[in-house]
A and B are shown apart, each in its own frame.
Chain A
Amino acid sequence: MDKTIALMLVLTILVVLPTVQLVFAAGTDAHEYVNRKIEIWNLFFKMMTIAFTVGAVVSGTLIWLVWRFRESNPNAKPTKYEGTDW
């Protein structure tokens, strides 16, 4: 469990840090070198790519899971918890 939390934290930092540095790089001067409009649209497209990929995987998993583990599926087996006071 601790490893899972640590992995989640590392992944979060890896995603958040590049985004945060964009804020510090973007100044308010007229001659700033970061084109904020391009940066933010790039970020948006990256997020969309991630969102649609993850969305497809999770939705597909959910649909398969509902089909595979329904009790009327011929391959359904009793779980080890059935009949116990878990």
Chain B
Amino acid sequence: MVLELQKPRPIWQIMFSTHHTDVGLLYTITSIAFFFMGGALALGIRAELFLPGTQIISDSMTFNRMFTVHGTAMIFLFLLPFASGVGNYFVPIMVRYKDMAYPKLNAVAFWMIPPAGALIWLGFADFTWYATPPYSAIRAPGPAADMWIFAQKILGVSSVLGAINFIVTILKCKHPDLPLSKVPLLAWSFLSASLIIIVAVPTFAAALVMLLTDRLGVSGFFDPAKGGDPIAYQHLFWFTFHPEVYVLVIPAIGMMYEIIPRFSRKPIFSQSSGIFAFVMLSIVSFSSWAHHMYATGMSFTEKTVFMIGTLAAVPASGMHVFNFIATMWGGRIKFATPMMWAVGGIALFFSAGAGGVANAAMPFDFITHDSYWVVGHFHLFVMGTIAFGSIGFLYYMFPYITGRMYNETWGKIHFIMSFAGTVMVFFTQHVLGLYGMPRRVYDYQPYPEYIVMNQIASVGAMIIGVSMVIWLINMIYSAGKGKEANMDDPWGLGGKYYFPYQAKNPHH
């Protein structure tokens, strides 16, 4: 059994451990801490936008700093480390190996995250989460901007080390009796995401060095006054960060693949189509980066190629949705908290995907570019799909980690409030974008439509905020005083198949 909190140990034993479950626990707790910090900034942003004019944030620079750190924290300090935490816990168990391939490297990869987080939060840069030049290269105030750049370098190295570890663990350390095609889809999702990281991240690493030397005044890669090209940065950035979207979403889909069959009391409809769709997504993730840049003056042919490249992700995404539906079909579904989050995540994944298809069409993109439509669209992905999958999986892992059950009623209340809040915030932001409200604005015109929709979005955000506080209390209280879980069957699903991989893994 892998029960981290059932047999209490001094905290330093966990902190300095290289065992995969300890490192997984550190990743998970750290990422949740950053989630709440980043979420607090989001609530500040929504409170400011509740009405036109200045509300609680004194100036636009502070507002810019807040949404920059919010975005950076949520993507790099919550979603990515959380996925790594899940992978650390489950991948070695699923491939029937005693630990990750390189345990010390694994711990090093984790311990790069806290200093990087400190640089981001103490610097509090203001140039958005993608550090847009020429502003970032010429004028963004230091040392905040430089601290952000160094933090990204550290996080990039951490990601690459983690990715190498996952790839080697899955491909080289899996049990000889376990064919790759039978490796569970959650582990496959980490293999796919890790391969994307290895290919994508070095490009951004190069862009960061160029940006830093531009800031130091020794080069002018992105400075038009020195003959540089800010658009080149956008290409380098999006070549890394469009695939990075898939690095985030693929493990979340893998988590859903773990939850949905368990609570439907049926095996996955098609393991091979899930693998095929993961591999397809990994490949096509590199064919669509410039759809973020339709408005930068690319030729018609280039735009059409990237439009088709973007749409190429649709069949693979559709295969996952079909697989989920077919798995649930004919099952006897228990809507415990993890299943509610997973099904809610699928519904929002589909909605976010439909918005993405619409936005991939360049005439529509010209209307929605840099508007609140885009904010609504990507938040529906990162919150509605990735965070929903992740939170659902944390509920699923909870008895596994603690040996205790969370409070089911409060878990369901958490889901219902978060789902309602997510729809209120991000669906409304789509419409707000169609009405022409630009993104990244500290203030807006007092049009009645803008005011009403911003207020709906802000109320939705507050509902999500309250639900997350309920979640936090539920997790902390239940970890210490929750009912002891029946470890063979924590949700009463009627079979000893809760930890099937563990039963077959002699190391655990």
Contact = CB atoms under 8 A, between A and B. Distances in A.
B300 A26 contact: yes
Contacts of B347: 59, 62
Contacts of B267: 81, 86
B497 interface: yes
Nearest to B321: A58
B325 A62 contact: yes
B343 A48 contact: no
A5 B333 contact: no
A29 B496 CA distance: 69
A5 B498 CA distance: 31
Determine the main DSSP class of A at the interface with B: helix
Contact of B328 (A59, A69, A81): A69
Contacts of A48: 358
Interface in A51-78: 51-52, 55, 58-59, 61-62, 65-66, 69-71, 76-78
Interface in B358-386: 358, 361-364
A29 to B, nearest CB: 13
Contacts of B497: 84-86
Contact of A69 (B305, B308, B329, B364): B329
Contacts of B266: 79, 81
B363 A44 contact: yes
B486 interface: no
Contacts of A85: 495-497, 500, 503
A51 to B, nearest CB: 5
B54 interface: no
Interface in A11-54: 11-12, 16, 19-20, 22-23, 26, 36-37, 40-41, 43-44, 47-48, 51-52
A53 B336 CA distance: 31
A75 B333 CA distance: 12
B130 interface: no
Contact of A19 (B308, B315, B351): B308
B330 A69 contact: yes
Contacts of B19: none
Contacts of A23: 301, 304-305
A77 B333 CA distance: 10
Given A20-B308, A26-B301, A44-B361, A70 B315 contact: no
Nearest to A34: B300
A82 B496 CA distance: 9
Contact of B494 (A8, A59, A66, A83): A83
B331 interface: yes
Interface in B119-135: none
Contacts of B333: 66, 69-71
A79 B325 contact: no
A75 B300 CA distance: 55
Determine the main DSSP class of B at the interface with A: helix
B477 interface: no
A58 B364 contact: no
Given A62-B325, A62-B343, A82-B332, A22 B304 contact: yes
Interface string B311-344: 1100100010100010011111111000000010
Contacts of B358: 47-48, 51
Nearest to A48: B358
A10 to B, nearest CB: 12
Contacts of A52: 354
A1 B272 CA distance: 8
Given A47-B358, A86-B267, A61 B300 contact: no
B216 interface: no
B408 to A, nearest CB: 14
Contacts of B346: 62
A40 B496 contact: no
B300 A36 contact: yes
Nearest to A23: B304
B16 interface: no
B381 to A, nearest CB: 16
A78 B266 CA distance: 10
Nearest to A80: B266
A16 B9 CA distance: 58
Nearest to A44: B361
B364 A59 contact: no
Contacts of B445: none
A23 to B, nearest CB: 5
Nearest to A72: B335
B328 A84 contact: no
B150 interface: no
A16 B314 CA distance: 12
6 contacts: A8-B315, A23-B304, A55-B351, A62-B346, A78-B494, A79-B266
Interface of B: 264-267, 270, 272-273, 276, 300-301, 304-305, 308, 311-312, 315, 319, 321, 325, 328-335, 343, 346-347, 350-351, 354, 357-358, 361-364, 493-497, 500, 503
Given A23-B301, A70-B333, 20 more contacts: A8-B315, A16-B312, A37-B363, A44-B363, A48-B358, A58-B325, A59-B350, A62-B325, A62-B343, A62-B347, A66-B335, A69-B328, A79-B266, A79-B332, A81-B266, A82-B332, A82-B493, A84-B497, A85-B496, A85-B503
